[in-house]
Structure 1
Amino acid sequence: MNTLNDAPAPARGPAEHDIRDQIVVAATEHFSRYGYTRTTVSDLAKAIGFSKAYIYKFFESKQAIGEMICTNCLRGIETEIRAAVDSADGPPEKLRRLFKTAVTASLRLFSDERKLYEIAASAATEKWQATLDYEVRIKGLLQDILLAGRQSGDFERKTPLDETATAIYLVLRPYLNPLLLQHNFDHTDEAPAHLSNLVLRSLSP
């Protein structure tokens, strides 16, 4: 889904350093228990058993740690979506699977991990690079499905591809963006089927 910079935030020290990974794992657990907004780097340092200065050798800020956690969460959702899409036969079914899996995976993260939701909400509000990159990759996946559907004759070809992909993404966005998802919990059961069917009807040649 387009070539992107995998580094979601500026970081200090070796990118693959074991200590860096250890900090991310420990921070994820700590934020899950106590929340992102209420935790300072000093709190995190005490919980992990490192000095604050040592953490700053690997991450320049709390947000940099949050971005790494956010990236890991979004990559988990994306992996689940891609697996569902790849297992489907034909572009129409791939689109249905994308809608269903995107909604259920996002809902599971943002409802089961309420403390981590704070990170996702901050990321969406402040437009962290991790969320912007995620949006680009989802749009790229939509374009791939649309292109395959046009080649197979399942989808119309008159509307510009990027315009169509953006429009479909906007239909999905209330169930991908954590700030919007919290207002759409009542519709998550039926939304994937209803919305994907509506989109598929609009794509009919």
Structure 2
Amino acid sequence: MSNATLSPAVARGPADHDVRDQIVAAATEHFGRYGYEKTTVSDLAKAIGFSKAYIYKFFESKQAIGEMICANCLREIEAEVRAAVDVADRPPEKLRRMFKSVVESTLRLFSEDRKLYEIAMSAASERWQTVVVYEERIRQLLQDILREGREMGEFERKTPLDEAAGAIYLVMHPYINPLLLQYSFDHAAQAPVQLSSLVLRSLSP
């Protein structure tokens, strides 16, 4: 498992400082009301009652604040996906649950709040570090399930593991990446079952 975390490296100041949490909480509310693109650091400073210079002691830019908000959402998605996978005993069921959970969790967090979705769109289009790390962790989870399935004799072993994991990840990608997710809403209900079934047939030994 990767040791990388979802916390953006651009955060400044003490890691556990309460002010950082205040800034993130206020920014989440402000972005949710006015949108990420239309909000400036000056707007946040006025809303919180801090100077802009003081905010820059904790975050180097508006994007850094957005990354922290995005990281919080992605942690929640990953936790839900892992919890869904952990209750399954066999690799095929783990894979089915992973498909279902990643679609449901992503849709819920990014489609119910359009302003939050706007941050996710910026994060995906600009390849923020939080997104890169999250996608790598999801790919690693997928690869771990495939490896376990091969060890138990439930999945084929001819295809190189990283190649198989990469191909399956591409199948899931439209439901992980918010830029693509907007074009997949109409298929989200049936996609997890149909896609996971197709993938599992291709993995038969």
Superposition TM-score, scaled by structure 2 size: 0.98
Are 1:157 and 2:150 an aligned pair?
no
Aligned residues of 2:6 and 2:134 also touching (Cα < 8 A):
no
Separation (CA, whole Å) in 1 of partners of 2:150 and 2:15: 41
Cα deviation for residue 202 of structure 1 reads: 0.3
**1:35-50 paired onto structure 2 within 5 Å:** 35-50=35-50
Residues 43-94 of structure 1 show CA distances to partners (whole Å, capped at 9, x for unaligned) of 1111111111111110010000001111110010000000000011200000
Aligned residues of 2:6 and 2:75 also touching (Cα < 8 A):
no
Report the counterpart of residue 171 of structure 1 in structure 2. 171
Cα deviation for residue 6 of structure 1 reads: 4.4
Cα deviation for residue 34 of structure 1 reads: 1.2
Report the counterpart of residue 148 of structure 1 in structure 2. 148
Q: Taking every aligned residue pair, what percent have the same amino acid on both sides?
A: 73
Cα deviation for residue 12 of structure 1 reads: 1.9
Give 2:64's aligned amino acid: A
Cα deviation for residue 9 of structure 1 reads: 3.4
Give 1:74's aligned amino acid: L
Structure 1 runs (4+) deviating above 3 angstroms are none
Separation (CA, whole Å) in 2 of partners of 1:180 and 1:109: 15
Report the counterpart of residue 97 of structure 1 in structure 2. 97
Q: 1:41 to 1:135 in 2, by over 3 A?
A: same
Report the counterpart of residue 180 of structure 2 in structure 1. 180
Structure 2 regions of 5+ residues with no counterpart? none
Report the counterpart of residue 34 of structure 1 in structure 2. 34
Are 1:7 and 2:7 an aligned pair?
yes
CA RMSD, Structure 1 to Structure 2 (Å): 0.9
Separation (CA, whole Å) in 2 of partners of 1:6 and 1:200: 30
Equivalenced residues, count: 205
